[in-house]
Amino acid sequence: MNSLQNLREVMRRDRVFDFMLQTTGLEVDLSHGTILYLEDVSVSFDGFKAINDLNLYIDAGELRCIIGPNGAGKTTMMDIITGKTRPDKGSAFFGQNINLLHLNEAEIAQAGIGRKFQKPTVFEFHTVFENLELSMAGDKRVWQTFRARMEGSQLDRISNVLEIIGLQECHHKLAGSLSHGQKQWLEIGMLLMQNPKLLLVDEPVAGMTHQEMERTAELLTSLAGEHTVVVVEHDMDFVRSIARKVTVLHQGSVLAEGSMDEVQNDRRVVEVYLGE
Ligand SMILES: Nc1ncnc2c1ncn2[C@@H]1O[C@H](COP(=O)(O)OP(=O)(O)OP(=O)(O)O)[C@@H](O)[C@H]1O
Ligand SMILES: [Mg+2]
């Protein structure tokens, strides 16, 4: 089939809108070096301010750790970034140009923000390889008519991601047979298949063995640079092992920000969190 026929084929399908969305989707503008702006953001649940005038800026390519006591608003902050929760006030921008408050969850994911929840949600009865393949499903539906041409590059992408997450040897195994840590890495791999610019990772090492934690530290560190990674985690040994800049959330706003040493020696941080 020549490219004109390909195009006709695509235009005839009733999913033309998806196609348009994929190719004309907003490209995040990182020209100022900042990938995420949260400004004066507040949200209340039944009168309780879970997020309270929060200001947070993340640089493109950063690996940022967010810590803070239970109920500080860490997960709620991620809910706001991903469109799951709408703030009562404030603004949320992805790069210079994408107003996150104007997009729904699917559009935000498509714009390049991927989120990993604490509990792995891999397809247990599919192989590792298939899990990665399935996470491209959105693209595949759109690109079906270009399949022959795409297949080679898709395979390359899958083997590249298998290498990044260290599961090459397990590619044929059922996801259900993996260890807890391996499932977490697979899920990170599934996110990577969508090629997100910003990755939000909530409590990645809960329930992991020490070795798995070390491997996860390496993985997340290796992703920074090309991607921007925001990690929420309570395990201070883990945070210390990956931390560059740390933000401490408390009662829905930023209590302190700086290097691990700086926040660890901050009297207010010790009082509300580390001194527990
Ligand atoms: N959808 C919701 N409805 C009502 N209250 C909520 C909702 N989401 C969060 N909250 C409340 O907002 C506060 C902040 O919760 P959040 O889950 O963001 O904290 P967290 O910092 O992630 O805590 P943890 O470290 O325990 O995960 C909590 O008091 C929580 O009960
Ligand atoms: Mg949480």
Taking only the tens place, the pLDDT of each residue in 162-197 is: 999 999 999 999 999 999 999 999 999 999 998 999
Q: Which atom of ligand 1 is nearest to the CA of 74?
A: 21
Tell me which ligand sits closest to the C-alpha of residue 234.
1
Q: Are 228 and 33 in contact (CB under 8 A)?
A: no
Q: Which two tokens stand for residue 220?
A: 């997340």
Per-residue confidence (pLDDT) for residue 44, from 0 to 100: 98
Q: Which residue has the higher pLDDT, 262 or 275?
A: 262
Dihedral sign (CA 29, 19, 110, 93): positive
Q: Which two tokens stand for residue 233?
A: 């985690």
273 DSSP assignment: I
Those residues whose C-beta lies under 8 Å from the C-beta of residue 31, and which sit 6 or more positions away, are 96
Per-residue confidence (pLDDT) for residue 101, from 0 to 100: 97
CA–CA distance, 242 with 237 (Å, rounded to integer): 9
Give which of 65, 117, 100, 60 is closest to 273, Cα–Cα: 65
pLDDT of 20 over the 60 cut: no
Nearest CA to ligand 1 atom 6: 45
Q: Which atom of ligand 1 is nearest to the CA of 71?
A: 19
Q: Are 241 and 216 in contact (CB under 8 A)?
A: no
Pocket of ligand 1 (CB under 6 A): 45, 50, 68, 70-76
- Summarised one tens digit per residue, pLDDT across range 205-239 is 999 999 999 999 999 999 999 999 999 999 999 99
The pTM of this model reads 0.87
Nearest CA to ligand 1 atom 16: 73
pLDDT of 146 over the 90 cut: no
| DSSP conformation letters of 249-265 | EETTEEEEEE-HHHHHT
- Summarised one tens digit per residue, pLDDT across range 25-51 is 679 999 999 999 999 999 999 999 999
* Dist. CA 239 → ligand 1 center (Å): 21
Nearest CA to ligand 1 atom 11: 50
* Dist. CA 129 → ligand 1 center (Å): 35
Angle between helical axes of 180-192 and 147-164 (0-180°, round to 10): 140
Q: Which residue has the higher pLDDT, 116 or 5?
A: 116
Q: 83 to each of 58, 73, 102, 113, 123, how far by Cα in Å?
A: 18, 15, 9, 10, 24
Nearest CA to ligand 1 atom 5: 45
Q: 84 to each of 45, 106, 182, how far by Cα in Å?
A: 14, 10, 27
pLDDT of 17 over the 50 cut: no
CATH of the domain at 217: 3.40.50.300
Q: Are 228 and 49 in contact (CB under 8 A)?
A: no
Residue 12 binned pLDDT confidence (cut-offs 50, 70, 90): very low
Domain extent at residue 100: 3-274
Amino acid at position 145, single letter: T
CA 265 to chain centre: 29
Q: Which atom of ligand 1 is nearest to the CA of 78?
A: 18
Determine the residue of 56, 74, 81, 236 to mutate for testing ligand 1's pocket, defined as the one with the most ligand atoms within 8 A of the Cβ atom: 74
Please state the domain count of the chain.
1
Q: Are 103 and 93 in contact (CB under 8 A)?
A: no
* Dist. CA 76 → ligand 1 center (Å): 6
Q: Are 74 and 66 in contact (CB under 8 A)?
A: yes
